[in-house]
Structure 1
Amino acid sequence: MSSIYDFNILAAPLHCAQIDLSPYARWSPNGITVSGGHGQGSELSQLNHPYGLYVDDNKIIYVADYENHRIVAWPPGATYGQVVAGGNGPGQGLHQLNKPTDVIIDHATESLLICDCLNRRVVRWPLRGGIRGEILLRDINCRGLTMDDCGFLYVSDVRKHEVRRWQVGKARGTVVAGGNGQGLRLNQLNFPTYLFVDRNYTIYVSDSCNHRVVKWIKGITEGIVVAGGHGQGENVNQMSHPQGVIVDEVDTVYVADSWNYRIMRWPRGATQGTVVAGGNDAGPQTNQLNLLEGLSFDRYGHLHVADMINHRLQRFELVST
């Protein structure tokens, strides 16, 4: 069996497509299962409540396999994954994870950065052949993480309702979103989960229990609602517990609208979104989703989403830019 590391790893994208997308781009309504899809379980062909995901330039997908306490890598076309972190049962050991919720790659150190949620820590794990991780951050109720092109790490904290920016190796982070208690005001968050940071260091936060996505421009103390914000609901100006969020080069926001079982697109300045995938009630069919988590483009503009209750990752292929 060949290793996934036979693939040449290139510079990390920011979960973003490397082609220009118009606000009218279209994706196939039917998803293709690219990871899992063989029922709930712990075999290497299975997932158990997948959460965050990361797609590298070679289309290798790294997924936080939440209930299996592991990170699994799936090369393109594979029928089973390879455990690259954890997989030794839940626990606090450096060889273990406990319900990981997000994962990215830091190519500068050739390592995985993981939200080890129930251990309340962020860990770094060698990308190649690692048998244990090292703790980067402790005592943090982490849910999502990302990194900017200067190497700063951003982590959401669902207990403190804030996002902090960390310089790896430093003891203290800087609050860059929220941090003013749980609430609905524009300087507050309510259970922030997934994050996206653009090339201008603007932070986009899935403010899950406020049913909105908020962007925080660097140095500004209040956010700007860019998706949702009209209460919980299924109308096109509403969302229900949004999760994964990504932004393209023209500031169009794409959101995994979890409890509405759909992926939404919100162009810059829009007061309502459009459905680009799902939205056909909860279910296991190729045009259906059932509670969404992580969301990512690959470099070709295909959308990848963690379809949590169906225990699979789905790819919706770009058909028109």
Structure 2
Amino acid sequence: MITNPCVSGDLRWNTTGITVINSPPNMGASGVSVDINDTLYSVDENSNFVIWKLLKNAVNVTIAAGLYKSQGSNSSQLNYPNDIYVDRYGNLYVTDAYNHRIQKFSNGSTTHGQTIAGVTGSAGSALNQFNVPRYFTFDATETYMYVADYNCHRIMRHSTNSTDGTNGVLIAGGTGSFNQNTSLNEPWGIHYLPSISNDLFITNNGGHSVIRWTLGATSGIFVAGTPGVSGSNSTLLNQPKGIKIDSYLNMYVVDHGNHRVQMFCANNQTGITIAGTGVAGSSAMQLNGPRGIAFDSEMNMYIGDFDNHRVQKFLKLNTTTTTTAIGNYSMFFYLVWQMVGSGSVIGDAGCHGLGNDRVGNFSQCKSNCESMTNCNAVDWQASQLYCVYRQCTTYPPSTRPQSGGWEAWAIETSSPVNPPAIIQWLFDGDFSDAYGIYNGSLVNNSNVTWMSPGYAGYGSAVCFLSTNYLRINRYLNFNSTSFTISTWVWIPANFSFNGNFFVLFVHCNLTTQDTCLHVGINGGRVFLGFFSDDLTGGTSLTSNQWYHVTYVYDRSSLRQTVYLNGIHDGSRVTSGPYKGTA
């Protein structure tokens, strides 16, 4: 589980960096990226004109794209490359800034790039041109990419299967370099996380700010920095470059001119320095003109430390290691919020208010509460997007009737302290919950195989037979609450997908619609079912390999979502809320 670093202040990053790439010694580390296998990629912008690749746990880099020390414009060469992305199929995309194009390297090729956007060597502002493309980001299906077109002060969208000279679509800016919410000023970094938000987060390098721009909108909202004002205090930025957001809508901004990385908690414009000291230097705790930023699957942070000619890794502190299972499951539950009253607000004398505001959606209301000290309950009015934050000393708090479509929600816990309840089976030789509450027992027989280490040499695992299973003899109330179930799973080589349901977890008391939860692999696809109200993923799985599967239900939107190896694999809105208790 990755804990919200804005809730648990001690769960941030080690401020002493580890140099993972610094060879050759004069490399120009700009954009960095991590793929689904935790392979690290780094642009070598202005010295060697290539993309470096570092496998997980490896020491030595190899060339992933470009010709070493060969600056140029043919299909094998790059000219001041800026950013890098690798899709789920292994295709590699590069923003080739001074060639004013996007190159795609397919089928493992390192020297035969295809221009899929822009016109080689032709800088311009037409819809089929770029003028120094900087960083880019991709949608969930990797169908489209959004490119920061630096000197045109705009964001352009192009298909990942396009060809050179094809017109793109103007998404934001393009009206000149102004520090206004309808314009962009030398956009450099950009990130899009559609599973969390329909907004692009863009750094204005020339405007010293970050702007949040909803797709389809004609203007954005400034969310960090003061437009047009550079500075080094906690509310100002100086030539920001790379940017990432996390699942809590916290922003991570590479503050290039201040030689630091700033974390802005959701809906908060005061930055927290999580890497660098604010003074240029080459020590393990310092940065010098940093540019790119990326995170791996455990939220370890990688920074392209440009003027130090290196890539620095900052370890995430106190991150729980996901464990694994063969033939069945090891998983986490995040029982975050419980609706304690409909048509009502919290009226408990043991609760007091912590403030209120209007927000974009209920997820943002919850996220804001989680980022506050001791907030563990909210009143929510969907029609007005109005959120009231509360601290309660008992659970569940009592409520009182209130007209206007109000709902009362609280974190399901016996104390007022975050984070929410977690259930975790490690399968490290027994079936106990790591927190000692939801311990399990084996049903039918004791013939299981324990394995340590598990997946890729980490954690632990257990292999179940088809005839036995784990039972949890403790009440678990999922009625009207959001939850996430996540696990590594191995599909046996002899398992037939045809018409078979590979069961991972069942929570069922009544076999009626929206009262019986069952998750697993159904017909070879990821499956999240509420009994006749079900979601099936879009990707066909194969046997004899590991998969990471995640099942998410958001009560506020009634949305089921499934992820396969960290990639969005399907989503739908249910007919009604899940009301299961078992």
Tell me the TM-score normalised to structure 1 length: 0.88
| TM-aligned CA deviation for residue 127 of structure 1 | 5.3
| TM-aligned CA deviation for residue 282 of structure 1 | 0.8
Determine if the alignment matches structure 1 residue 198 to structure 2 residue 188. no
| TM-aligned CA deviation for residue 38 of structure 1 | 6.3
Determine if the alignment matches structure 1 residue 189 to structure 2 residue 170. no
Matches within 5 A, 1:16-95: 19-23=2-6, 24=9, 25-36=11-22, 39-40=25-26, 48-67=27-46, 68-88=48-68, 89-95=70-76
1:144 match: secondary structure: strand
Q: Which residue of 2 aligns with 1:7?
A: none
Contact 2:38/2:55 (CA < 8 Å) preserved in 1? yes
Matches within 5 A, 1:233-312: 233-312=231-310
1:2-52 CA deviation, whole Å, 9 max, x = no partner?
Answer: xxxxxxxxxxxxxxxx83423134111100111116632xxxxxxx21111
In 1, Cα distance between equivalents of 2:101 and 2:109: 21
Q: Which residue of 2 aligns with 1:147?
A: 138
2:156 to 154, 164, 176: 164
Supply the RMSD in Å over aligned alpha carbons: 1.7
Q: Which residue of 2 aligns with 1:211?
A: 208
Q: Which residue of 1 aligns with 2:87?
A: 106
Contact 2:67/2:111 (CA < 8 Å) preserved in 1? no
Choose between structure 1 and 2 for higher RCO, CA contacts under 8 A separated by at least 6 residues: 1
In 2, Cα distance between equivalents of 1:273 and 1:130: 39
Letter in 2 for 1:19: I
2:168 to 166, 170, 173: 173
Letter in 2 for 1:29: T
In 2, Cα distance between equivalents of 1:91 and 1:116: 10
Letter in 2 for 1:173: G
In 2, Cα distance between equivalents of 1:117 and 1:320: 38
1:199-229 CA deviation, whole Å, 9 max, x = no partner?
Answer: 1331111111111111101222111111112
1:318 match: secondary structure: coil
Q: 1:172 to 1:306 in 2, by over 3 A?
A: same
Q: Which residue of 2 aligns with 1:96?
A: 77
Letter in 2 for 1:260: N
In 2, Cα distance between equivalents of 1:97 and 1:130: 11
- Unmatched segments (≥5 aa) in structure 2: 119-128, 320-582
1:259 match: secondary structure: helix
1:151-197 CA deviation, whole Å, 9 max, x = no partner?
Answer: 21111111110001122327222221211111101011111011100
Determine if the alignment matches structure 1 residue 119 to structure 2 residue 99. yes
2:175 match: secondary structure: coil
In 2, Cα distance between equivalents of 1:26 and 1:320: 8
In 2, Cα distance between equivalents of 1:201 and 1:122: 24
Q: Which residue of 2 aligns with 1:4?
A: none
Letter in 2 for 1:155: V
Contact 1:19/1:299 (CA < 8 Å) preserved in 2? no
| TM-aligned CA deviation for residue 320 of structure 1 | 4.0
Contact 1:71/1:87 (CA < 8 Å) preserved in 2? no
1:35-80 CA deviation, whole Å, 9 max, x = no partner?
Answer: 116632xxxxxxx211111112322111111021111101234332
How many residues in Structure 1 have an aligned counterpart in Structure 2?
Answer: 296
Contact 1:261/1:282 (CA < 8 Å) preserved in 2? yes
Letter in 2 for 1:165: R
Q: Which residue of 2 aligns with 1:10?
A: none
Contact 1:20/1:249 (CA < 8 Å) preserved in 2? no
After superposing the two structures, state which structure 1 stretch, 191-200 or 163-172, moved more. Answer: 163-172
2:52 match: secondary structure: strand
- Unmatched segments (≥5 aa) in structure 1: 1-17, 41-47
1:113-142 CA deviation, whole Å, 9 max, x = no partner?
Answer: 100111111110125144311111123121
Contact 2:65/2:109 (CA < 8 Å) preserved in 1? no
Letter in 2 for 1:206: T
1:75-104 CA deviation, whole Å, 9 max, x = no partner?
Answer: 234332111111240111101111100010
In 1, Cα distance between equivalents of 2:243 and 2:57: 25
In 2, Cα distance between equivalents of 1:58 and 1:222: 36
Contact 2:39/2:53 (CA < 8 Å) preserved in 1? yes
Letter in 2 for 1:318: K
In 2, Cα distance between equivalents of 1:288 and 1:188: 33
